[in-house]
Amino acid sequence: MDSIPTFNAEHLQSNMKTVYYSRTFLSIIGGVIAGIMGFTSLTGFIFYFLIMAITSVGLLAKAGFTVHSYFDSWNRVLLDGFLGGLMLCCCCDASAWGLEIDLIFLYQFL
């Protein structure tokens, strides 16, 4: 009978948490940068996908390109947290715009 591959689940969860933190932080940063550069709808999405691609490559490099010793499938390190981060990116993009507009108005009144 074939043995089922077993994993150290606690370490797997810790690795997932690390990936999630990295992606979340970079989504927020990506949103702020897109807001500052004035990227609108399609360009903003393309910019976000670019940031996420860079993050994926960075995470793969951190794992030394041997995904199987740290994760149980490629999808986890490449795609997890992608869409949640998209929401954060849009929120921060909108707040970066809002912040700019507010500060411009305040500056005019001072």
Partner 1 sequence: MALGFAVGVFGVLILFHAAYSTIQYRGLLKITEEEFSGPPMNVVAELLLGLVFCIWAALTVPGKFLSIQPYSEENRIVSLPANSDFMIFNHRGKVFPLEMDVKLKH
Contacts with partner 1 by CB under 8 A lie at 6-9, 11-12, 14-15, 17-18, 21-22, 25-26, 29, 32-33, 36-38, 54-55, 58-59, 61-63, 68-72, 96, 99-100, 103-104, 107-108
Nearer to partner 1, 45 or 97 (CB): 97
Question: What is d(CA 38, CA 66) in angstroms, rounded to the nearest whole number?
Answer: 38
Please give the structure tokens belonging to residue 95: 């707040």
Exposed, middle or buried: residue 45 (CB in 10 Å: 0-12, 13-18, 19+)? middle
CB of 1 to partner 1, least distance (A): 18
